[in-house]
Chains A and B, each alone.
Chain A
Amino acid sequence: MARGADIGTEMPKALREAVQRLMETGGFEGTFTLARTPGGGVDYFLSTKEEGAPELLPLHPVMPNHAGRLLREMTLGGAMRGKVLVITRPCELRGFVEIVKRLQGCLDNLVFLSVVCGGVFPLSMVSAGWDGKRTEEYWAYPDGRPVQGLRPACQGCTEFIPYTADLVVAPSANGHWALTAGSEEGGRLIERAFPSAPAAEMDPKALEAMAVARKAGREEVLSHEADVKGLSDLVKVFGRCIGCHACSKACPICYCTLCTFESSRMEDRMEQSKGQLEVKGGIRAPAGTVLFHIGRMGHMAVSCVACGCCQDVCPVGIPVSLLFKKVGEAVQARFEYVPGRDVKEALPINTFQPMEFKEVGE
C-alpha cells in the first residue's frame, strides 16, 4: 500500500480537517458525505460549495440511508460528469460495487474515501436524540474493545476494511490516525493535500485486535436470534412481520422498481385461497410472509454485504440483518465469493465452471 499521512489523534475533528483539505486540493466538483440536516439530524448530502454548506459529518456513526443505494439512484442513468469525493463506510462501498456489477450504477468519476470501520449505531438512536459523548467514545482509538450499543450487524462484521477505496482512514501507531492510499489516485490526492505531513501507515496490531473482537462478536450475534431451526422457527421469527417490505427498500442490493413480491403475480386470488382454506382451516392475510423473506434471500443473498440497513428500518425489530448475514455468508462461502471485493469479479449466479459442483446432480 502506498504512503499515508498522519492526521493526528483528534477524531473526528482530524477527519473533518482532512476532508476539508482533500476538497480544497483534490479538484473535486462536489463531496458526497454525511452532514447535519436543518433539524439537527444527520443525512447524506452532495455538497459543492464551502459557504452555506451544512456542517459536514464525514463517517458519522449512523447509516440513515445506504450510500450505495443513493449512488445507484444517482448514477443509474450514467456516470457523474465531474469528479466527486464520496465518503462512505466499507459495506456501503461494497454494496455499491455489487450494484454496479448488476449494471445499476456507475463507478466512473467517483473517488472513494472509506475507513477501517468501527461500525455504526442503530438509526433509532438518532431519532431518540443524539448524545455528543457517544461520538467521542466512538472515535476513541480502537484497542479491540467493542463500543457499546452498536448495531448487531456491525458487532459481528468481519469485513471492516474497505477493498476498493481510494483513500482509507485507519488507526496508525501510538494512538494516531492515518489517511492511507488504497489506489494510485489516492496516493496522488494525499501527496497534494498533505505534502508535509509525517508519513504513517495502518497499524496491523490494531487491525488484528479488531478482527479478533469482531470474530467473537460474530459468533455472539449469530448464535441467538439468527439461530433458526427450520420452518417452525422461521414462522415464529417472521410472525410479527407486518409486510411493509422496508427491509427490501432499504437494501442496497434490492434494486427492482417493482419487486416481484409486490407484483400482480404474487397477489392472492380467492379461487386459490379457497383451496388453501379448506386444507389448512385458515390462511394468513396478507399471505406469503415467509416466502417473501426466503425469496428475497434467493434474490440477493449472494451479494448481501451485511450492512444491517434492513434491520435498522424494521418497525417491529425482526433480526432481519442477522438472518440475511447468516444465509449470505453460507452462500458466499460455497462460491468462494466476497461481495464487493472487486468490480471485475463476476456474480456467482452469472458465471460457472463446467467442472464444478460435480456432486450436485449426479
Chain B
Amino acid sequence: MSGNEEPRVLGFLCNWCAYAGADLAGVSRLQLPANFCVIRTMCSARTEPLFLFKALLGGMDGVLVAGCHPGDCHYQRGNYFTRRRLVMVQEILKALNMEHERVRLHWISASECSLYQKVLTEFIEDLKGMERNVARDEVFL
C-alpha cells in the first residue's frame, strides 16, 4: 500500500475460542493493531461466504475468520464446515484471479493470545505489501 496508509481488516471471531483469545490479548495488554474491526459470531461456521464477499467488495483490505482448533468446536463440528467453506471461497477467488490472500482462516484457542497477536500482525504486514483493495473506490460494483 502506498505511503503510510493502513490496511483495513475485518475479523469474524468465534465466541468460544478466537474472541476469547482476543479478549485475553487485550487483558494481557499485548500490542495489537488498531485498524482491525471485529464481528463476534457464536461459531466460525456462522460466517457465510456471502459475508466474506460483501466485506471484500465493501472495500476491506483483509478478512480474517478465526475459530476453535479442529476437534475443539463448541458445537462439535462447526469449524470443519467453516474450513470447507473457506476452501470454496478461496477457489472462487482464485478462479476469478481475485486476491484470495485477502481472506484468511486461523484456528486460535481461548488461551492463545500471543498467537492472536502474531496472526493479526502478520496479516496486516502482508496486506501492507499488497495494493489497496480496488473495491474501495469502485463506483460500478
Q: Do A and B bind each other?
A: yes
Contact residues of A with B, CB < 8 Å?
228-235, 239, 260, 279-284, 287-291, 294-295, 297-299, 301-302, 323, 326-327, 329-331, 334-335, 348-349, 352, 354, 356-357, 360-362
A-side interface mostly: helix
A280/B138 in contact, CB under 8 A: yes
Name the one of B84, B99, B140 contacting A349, with C-beta atoms under 8 angstroms: B84
Q: Give a binary string over B71-114; 1 marks a CB under 8 Å from any A CB, 0 the rest.
A: 10000010011011111111110111111000001110000000
B92/A290 in contact, CB under 8 A: no
For residue A280, which residues in chain B have a CB less than 8 angstroms away from its CB? 136-139
For residue B54, which residues in chain A have a CB less than 8 angstroms away from its CB? 291, 295
A326 to B92, CA, bound (A): 9
B96/A298 in contact, CB under 8 A: no
B88/A361 in contact, CB under 8 A: no
Contacts A230-B98, A294-B57 hold; do A352 and B89 have CB atoms under 8 A apart? no
Given contacts A298-B50, A330-B91, A352-B77, 6 further A-B contacts (CB under 8 A): A230-B134, A290-B141, A291-B141, A295-B54, A334-B87, A361-B107
**Any chain A CB within 8 A of the CB of B36?**
no
A49 to B71, CA, bound (A): 59
B80/A294 in contact, CB under 8 A: no
B141/A228 in contact, CB under 8 A: no
A361/B134 in contact, CB under 8 A: no
Contacts A298-B49, A349-B84, A349-B85 hold; do A327 and B138 have CB atoms under 8 A apart? no
A231 to B105, CA, bound (A): 22
How near does chain A come to B47, taking the closest CB pair, in angstroms? 12
A361 to B97, CA, bound (A): 21
For residue B90, which residues in chain A have a CB less than 8 angstroms away from its CB? 360
A327 to B95, CA, bound (A): 5
How near does chain B come to A327, taking the closest CB pair, in angstroms? 4
A298/B84 in contact, CB under 8 A: no
Interface pairs (27), CB distance under 8 Å: A230-B98, A230-B99, A231-B135, A280-B139, A283-B139, A284-B140, A287-B141, A288-B141, A291-B54, A295-B50, A295-B53, A298-B48, A298-B53, A298-B89, A299-B49, A326-B95, A330-B92, A331-B92, A334-B88, A335-B84, A349-B85, A352-B77, A360-B87, A360-B90, A360-B105, A361-B105, A361-B106
B106/A301 in contact, CB under 8 A: no
For residue A260, which residues in chain B have a CB less than 8 angstroms away from its CB? 50
A352/B97 in contact, CB under 8 A: no
For residue A233, which residues in chain B have a CB less than 8 angstroms away from its CB? 97
How near does chain B come to A332, taking the closest CB pair, in angstroms? 9
Please give me the residue from chain A that is nearest to B107 by CB atom.
A361
For residue B48, which residues in chain A have a CB less than 8 angstroms away from its CB? 298
A289 to B77, CA, bound (A): 34
**Any chain A CB within 8 A of the CB of B70?**
yes
How near does chain B come to A266, taking the closest CB pair, in angstroms? 9
How near does chain A come to B116, taking the closest CB pair, in angstroms? 14
A200 to B129, CA, bound (A): 63
A290/B139 in contact, CB under 8 A: no
